[in-house]
Amino acid sequence: MARIEYAPAPESRAVVKLRRQYGLFIDGEFVEPASGEYYATINPADESPLALIAEGGEADVDRAVRAARRAFTKWSKLSGAERAKYIYRIARILQERAREFAVLESMNNGKPIKESRDVDIPLVAAHFFHYAGWADKLEYAGFGPNPRPVGVAGQVIPWNFPLLMLSWKIAPALACGNTVVLKPAQTTPLTALLFAEVCQQAELPAGVVNIVTGHNQTGAAVVAHKGVDKVAFTGSTAVGRQIAETVAGTRKRLTLELGGKGANIVFDDAAMDQAVEGIVNGIYFNQGHVCCAGSRLLVQESVAEEVVARLKRRMQTLRVGDPLDKNTDVGAINSAAQLARISELSDSGSTEGAERWSSDCALPDKGFWFAPTVFTNVSQAHRIAREEIFGPVLSVLTFRTPAEAIEKANNTQYGLAAGIWTEKGSLILKMASELRAGIVWANTYNKFDPASPFGGYKESGYGREGGRQGLAGYLEADHV
């Protein structure tokens, strides 16, 4: 039967009103960077410039930290109930302006609108709503009788879920009575700057949230600033390591949410159609720009051929292209640099002897694109089985017994996430207890929720974000 093509269904950009240029958001207002320098942020789907973004330097970071410190005095003394109402306001405004945020997120990040609209932005609002409710209940959170805020939090976030990562950082910090200086990723600052407008609409006291844009050295300045009491970082393990070294010998608290090489383990009794959907969701969701991606498929030998054949058939139906098209499944790679990294690692897979297969899809001429790709005949020694690719590239390995699956799944420096696909409940629990990973999804993958603690074992970092455990990083208390 002939395939029926979808007609284009682009989401309107009219809802987004971009300014030509954005300053830094410090002490409740947009200000010029000390250097006067700006850089262009682009749409990775077509490389068109979207706006000019301020390049924050050390002087700007210092100004932001001082604003946060001044604001801390009042904000930390405000009753939890009053803090909660501000955070609830933010959650509501985010819901009201959800479409605007979703479109802008897809424009600046390259992710499909169906993901920014149905996953990212709803989760952002939910995260603020969840932590708003904690603000006046901290003494019930189990950390002791007199929980107190840490102070000024310096937060550095990545480009893969720009606004979602902002919410994971800012919501618990504010709920616990801290003030923040947040540095968005250099390639995806726009939704963070739009969030600054939300803070203004919510009449959040000036200086409670400060947003300093820029490149790596801006983030490094936030981490190193002496006035910062707590550092929270999400990003690569290499940068996380540098941050841990920078923080050494100080009194700063530190939480890190870093890389991963998640094992998605499929047993021979798994519900095959669901498992294949789960594999696709595990690695091709958000172009594979996901720290907890199921980038290693471990499939039981007896069903390996069938699973790979079904997977390839399913991959052929993935629609790669315009992120703003409502039918798009896989959008643009976020940057030229990331595309180069994905290409280099994928080439190493071929060179080292793995078998490469990509879905047969037309890629746009402009922008950064990478077809969904799967490698078979992968050994544990291959770079594509060990290093985080952070792109739509899956490595398939096989196993015979649950013990072998555990051995292979745990054979990595990372320990963020894993998936298990089987209809046998006792096997799920056995695997879940042996896997050294912070999140274990059974018969599902990449499910996030503000009430659910998220974070890694081993070199995937330390500390948790989400839920009750997510408060610990932002509190001083007896049991922290």
Q: Which of 27, 455, 473, 475 touches another protein by CB under 8 A?
A: 455
* For another protein, the closer CB: 63 or 464: 464
Q: Does 458 bind another protein (CB under 8 A)?
A: yes
Binding part of the chain for another protein, among 54-62, 108-116, 174-182, 440-448 by CB under 8 A, reads 440-448
Catalytic residue (choose from 115, 257, 459, 465): 257
Reported as type and span, the H/E element at residue 254 is strand 253-257
Reported as type and span, the H/E element at residue 429 is helix 425-434
Kindly tell me the number of DSSP H helices and DSSP E strands found in the chain.
Answer: 15, 20
Q: What angle do CA 449, 454, 455 make, to 5 degrees?
A: 165
* For another protein, the closer CB: 19 or 479: 479
**Span 107-126, contacts to another protein by CB under 8 A:** 126
Binding part of the chain for another protein, among 171-179, 239-247, 381-389, 391-399 by CB under 8 A, reads 239-247
Q: Are 228 and 247 in contact (CB under 8 A)?
A: no
Q: Does 95 bind another protein (CB under 8 A)?
A: no
**Span 375-434, contacts to another protein by CB under 8 A:** 413, 428, 432-433
Q: Which of 377, 404, 469, 476 touches another protein by CB under 8 A?
A: 469
Q: Are 326 and 9 in contact (CB under 8 A)?
A: yes
In three-state secondary structure terms, 211 is strand
* For another protein, the closer CB: 216 or 410: 410
* For another protein, the closer CB: 352 or 387: 387
Binding part of the chain for another protein, among 81-89, 91-99, 147-155, 454-462 by CB under 8 A, reads 454-462
Catalytic residue (choose from 11, 115, 199, 291): 291
Q: In Å, how far are 103, 359, 392 from 320, measured between CA atoms?
A: 17, 10, 11
- Using a 10 angstrom Cβ sphere, with 0-12 exposed, 13-18 middle and 19 or more buried, the burial of residue 317 is exposed
Q: Which of 315, 437, 471, 475 touches another protein by CB under 8 A?
A: 437
Q: Does 365 bind another protein (CB under 8 A)?
A: no
Q: Can you tell me the distance from the alpha carbon of 308 to that of 299, in angstroms, rounded to the nearest whole number? A: 9
> What mask, x for binding another protein by CB under 8 A, covers residues 129 to 158?
-------------x-x--------------
* For another protein, the closer CB: 207 or 456: 456
Which backbone phi and psi does 416 adopt, to 5 degrees? -90, -55
Q: Which of 192, 299, 304, 439 touches another protein by CB under 8 A?
A: 439
Q: Is 291 annotated as catalytic? A: yes
Q: Is 352 annotated as catalytic? A: no
* For another protein, the closer CB: 256 or 324: 256
DSSP letters, 99-138, are HHHHHHHHHHH---HHHIIIIIHHHHHHHHHHHHHHTT-G
Q: Can you tell me the distance from the alpha carbon of 240 to that of 461, in angstroms, rounded to the nearest whole number? A: 8
* For another protein, the closer CB: 201 or 242: 242
Evaluated on CA atoms 189, 193, 194, 195, the torsion sign reads positive
* For another protein, the closer CB: 366 or 447: 447
Contacts of 261 (CB under 8 A, 6+ apart): 295, 296, 385, 386, 387, 388, 412, 414
Q: Does 238 bind another protein (CB under 8 A)?
A: no
Q: Which of 236, 358, 411, 443 touches another protein by CB under 8 A?
A: 443
Q: Does 461 bind another protein (CB under 8 A)?
A: yes
Q: Does 452 bind another protein (CB under 8 A)?
A: yes
Q: Does 261 bind another protein (CB under 8 A)?
A: no
Q: Does 468 bind another protein (CB under 8 A)?
A: yes
- Kindly state the greatest CA–CA separation across the chain: 68
DSSP letters, 322-384, are -TTBTT-SB---S-HHHHHHHHHHHHHHHHTTPEEEE------SSS-----EEEES--TTSHH
Nearest to 223 by CA among 182, 277, 162: 182
Contact positions vs another protein (CB under 8 A):
126, 142, 144, 237, 240-242, 244-245, 247-249, 256, 258, 413, 428, 432-433, 437-444, 447, 449, 451-455, 457-462, 464, 467-469, 478-480
User: Which residues are identified as catalytic?
Assistant: 257, 291
